[in-house]
Amino acid sequence: MKLGKIAIVAAGVALGVAACGSTSSTSSSSSTSTTSSAGPALYEEATTGVTFTQDFNPYESSSLAHGLNMTSLVYEPLYEMDALNPATSGMHPWMASSYQFENGGAELAITVKSNVKFNDGSTMTAKDVANTFALLKAFPDADYSGVPTQSAAPSVSGQVVTLTFASPQYTNLWAILGSTYITQASAFPIGTDPSKAPVANPVGTGPFMLDSFSTQAVKFKPNPHYWGGKPPESEVVVPNESTNNAATEALDSNTLDWAGNEIPSVVANYINLNPNTNHVWYASGNTVTLNFNLGAGNGGATGIGDVAVRQAVSLGIDRTVLSSIGESGYEAAATSAGGLEPGQQKAYPNPTYANDLPVDSAATPTSLAGWTGPTVQSVLEADGYTAPTGWTPSGTPPAQTNVACDGSVVANCWNKGGAIIKFSIWDPEAFSDYWADASEISSQLQAEGMDVTTDNATGGYTQWQDAMNNGQFQTALHWGAGGNIPFVQLDNWLDYSINCTGTPVVCASGDYSQFNSSAAQTALTQYEGADPTTSAGQSTIASAIATLEGIMATQIPDTPVLYGADWNVYSTAHYTGWPSASNPYMDPSPDDPELPYILMQLKPVAS
């Protein structure tokens, strides 16, 4: 399974990401391979359980390219940005040489490199860049990267493309420069919604191009016109791994070089099989949440439209069990309902939300030693719910129901006027760790008087993500959005105006809960418009983050459950030069958008 990314930040450098008006001085020499002969085929896997269909459309969020996190093998962003490094040193000019904010941050002038070609041999120009952003402006359903609202069409002057936004965008560089893939204008004309048709044979600027497709594997060959030099790899193969366990077996048999899935007892089950070649670096990543469907009908769930119920659900989860059983101890239990992971909490300290979540279940006042906050019992009783049969009155142990709630007997469940709390957790069984987490949450909450079940997305990742986009679920575990500053993840959770479009509502680029809050929109606008190079801007950013944390904690569109890892298991049997704890030059997962950067750094092992 593949998790998204969000960086650990420090207070000083976190403000520096968008501080750079121009980064033309940043070196990009490492992007060019000097390998004289290509090495063997490199086998990589990022996401298990994806349905293989020949669709590499970068504008369609549920395409195979996005599902397998391999879009950037063929299509590339203007900058390669390291999600683990929020300083300017983590921004690498890629197909752009520099950028400059103008007009108070409402305009972004991007200087495009002149030596870039598409894999069909044609030259990529500033017009292709402008056309890409014009498409995102014209067709909101195609805005997979969350580019903010543009108030005017992109303009071109020589090699400079100027984007004009409805408000200042100092903190949105991850979406604009780092996550938007530039496409060929002739392949995606401005008059047609680019997200509506599959792309079988993609034309892009990346180091690789499609070689062959089958339902068992997708093979990519080097792009002979690649502007960054000859890739070190003779081929990149992405096999169809149906489950995490299948990917683990492939790693163990040395048929995968690089994977993005969790391996239980990774030292015993992988590293110790061959310590000379088998390695792992689970870099600090994102915040994993339980998402509640707050759209029309709540996906058929009952109760979760009530914020008190969502709070009770959150309080009833034993996050320590999820960490130890579901995630083998590789992901820590979340302790902050505000959503920031520990590094970001350190950068933007807010005692209110530092430890406001119990890591163990807080069902009643006596069920969790030392916990002085609200409990499942106190929250639901205050909201007018009647306790289940056998539930011990407040303050009197033992504190648990005698009969688990499975929905068959109302009296065994918390109920209000005969209506019980009932919902399912939607995730693919192929995601073995999430499936274990979902099963644990179901068991825990049933024992605490809520009818909670698991719902297996038997179609794997593709079916699961499609349902998330379209609000066709009740609750679901989902990784965080990633990015290099807190804005990226908070915006992904809370920005309804950017992420959600149409009737019926589709939230293809985030806010899967369909949470629509004017207060959140105001705080996000303040955050993205604050100039981090000024003290006033830094103060605005800190204030906006506190407001957004408060919305997450009190309105609970999603509740944090774990601090996610960026899964990264790799072998040095065939290639060296991987990012690692001792050489952390890039977020290490086999994921978009860093694939081109990492693959161009690798060196084949001499045979």
pLDDT of 487-543, one tens digit each?
989 999 999 998 998 999 999 889 999 999 999 999 999 999 999 889 999 999 999
pLDDT value at residue 1: 43
In the three-class reduction of DSSP (H, G, I as helix; E, B as strand; rest coil), residue 330 is classed as: coil
Query: What's the one-letter identity of residue 287?
Result: T
- Dist CA 476 CA 474 (whole Å): 7
Q: Do 184 and 312 share a structural domain?
A: no
Is the separation of the CB atoms in 510 and 490 below 8 Å?
no
Selection from 95, 59, 58 nearest residue 77 by Cα: 95
Opening angle at CA 117, ends 98 and 42, nearest 5: 95
Opening angle at CA 30, ends 29 and 36, nearest 5: 100
Crossing angle of helices 535-555 and 518-528, in 10° steps, is: 150
pLDDT value at residue 46: 82
pLDDT of 538-581, one tens digit each?
999 999 999 999 999 999 999 999 998 888 999 999 999 999 98
Q: Do 406 and 369 share a structural domain?
A: yes
Q: Do 160 and 60 share a structural domain?
A: yes
* Strand duo 283-292 + 558-566: pairing: antiparallel
* Burial tier of 369 (Cβ tally within 10 Å: 0-12, 13-18, 19+): exposed
Is the separation of the CB atoms in 178 and 82 below 8 Å?
no
pLDDT value at residue 3: 38
Average pLDDT over residues 99-128: 97
pLDDT of 329-360, one tens digit each?
889 999 999 999 887 888 889 999 989 999 99
Q: Do 541 and 582 share a structural domain?
A: no
Residue 391 counted as domain residue: yes
10 Å Cβ neighbour count for 117? 15
Domain ranges, residue 179: 11-206+567-604
Count of structural domains within the chain: 2
pLDDT of 59-86, one tens digit each?
998 899 998 999 999 999 999 999 888 7
Q: Do 469 and 580 share a structural domain?
A: no
Report residue 37's pLDDT band, with 50, 70 and 90 as the boundaries. low
Report residue 374's pLDDT band, with 50, 70 and 90 as the boundaries. very high
Tokens at 81, concatenated:
């940005």
Residue 234 counted as domain residue: no
Selection from 427, 450, 445 nearest residue 291 by Cα: 427
Beta strands in 113-207 (DSSP E): 150-157, 160-165
- Dist CA 390 CA 393 (whole Å): 9
Tokens at 6, concatenated:
């969000």
Q: Do 357 and 341 share a structural domain?
A: yes
Q: Do 333 and 303 share a structural domain?
A: yes
Report residue 394's pLDDT band, with 50, 70 and 90 as the boundaries. low
Residue 24 counted as domain residue: yes
- CATH number for position 419: 3.10.105.10
Q: Do 56 and 136 share a structural domain?
A: yes
Q: Do 151 and 112 share a structural domain?
A: yes
Selection from 497, 529, 527 nearest residue 106 by Cα: 529
Report residue 27's pLDDT band, with 50, 70 and 90 as the boundaries. very low
* Burial tier of 495 (Cβ tally within 10 Å: 0-12, 13-18, 19+): buried
CA dihedral (314, 320, 324, 330) positive or negative:
positive
Please state the three-class secondary structure of 460-507 as a single string.
HHHHHHHHHHCCCCCEEEECCCCCCCHHHHHHHHHCHHHHEECCCCEE
Per DSSP, the chain holds a count of helices (H) and strands (E) of 18, 25
10 Å Cβ neighbour count for 196? 12
In the three-class reduction of DSSP (H, G, I as helix; E, B as strand; rest coil), residue 108 is classed as: strand
pLDDT value at residue 482: 72
Q: Do 587 and 527 share a structural domain?
A: no
Residue 258 counted as domain residue: no
